[in-house]
Chain A
Amino acid sequence: DQQVKQNSPSLSVQEGRISILNCDYTNSMFDYFLWYKKYPAEGPTFLISISSIKDKNEDGRFTVFLNKSAKHLSLHIVPSQPGDSAVYFCAASYSGSARQLTFGSGTQLTVLP
């Protein structure tokens, strides 16, 4: 039973345009959400997070939106750059889980020059 789902395995966007990566979750106990970026042969690196008490968090070109009623979050990258090409993982946790992260299956983003 996948509690965190990323239904798009891949996404291609043109450089300078907006990239929107989506993530859905089923466990209503999740109260903290994160996005990680992973380059080939490297470990995932933290990108941005959001607590369930917020619906938006922005950090430079990256913004995460949380819609609790829909159990949906999204990552917006504006403007997209070729260096953003990577696999993006959505992750979620809740306070009763010792902050273990449950990860989605990832979305491969390719930013075309």
Chain B
Amino acid sequence: GAGVSQSPSNKVTEKGKDVELRCDPISGHTALYWYRQRLGQGLEFLIYFQGNSAPDKSGLPSDRFSAERTGGSVSTLTIQRTQQEDSAVYLCASKGRVVTGELFFGEGSRLTVL
């Protein structure tokens, strides 16, 4: 499709399990972002990829969180040993080359940790 695609749309897991969330950005977009939104809160920046540069991981809340972007396209966000406070909607966004261009968001992956 033409938009940002995320999978799974919903994931329920048990505390302590690992999860992987996938993002397929808009073709040709060089920048990719991960945000999360916890219930009743705003969007919280997690990590940013730009082309072949080293990612900006400054928003990752703990070392249980990691992300990679293979071939400058698809990205995977991995959460190890999930905790209940990890429950949130994880949103991926991509952006084209315009410096001030807006982000295009996917529909998000809703993670529930029991």
- Contact surface of A with B, Cβ cutoff 8 Å: 4, 6, 32, 34, 36, 41-46, 49, 51, 89, 91, 93, 95, 98-106
Contact = CB atoms under 8 A, between A and B. Distances in A.
Contacts of B48: 98, 100
B65 interface: no
B interface residue count range (under 10 / 10 to 19 / 20 to 34 / 35 or more): 20 to 34
Interface stretch (B14-22, B70-78, B96-104): B96-104
Interface string B50-77: 1000001001000000000000000000
24 contacts: A6-B42, A32-B100, A36-B105, A41-B107, A43-B91, A43-B93, A43-B107, A44-B43, A44-B91, A44-B105, A46-B103, A49-B100, A49-B102, A89-B42, A91-B43, A93-B100, A98-B31, A99-B95, A99-B100, A100-B59, A101-B43, A102-B45, A103-B44, A105-B41
Nearest to A104: B42
Given A44-B91, A105-B41, A105-B42, A98 B103 contact: no
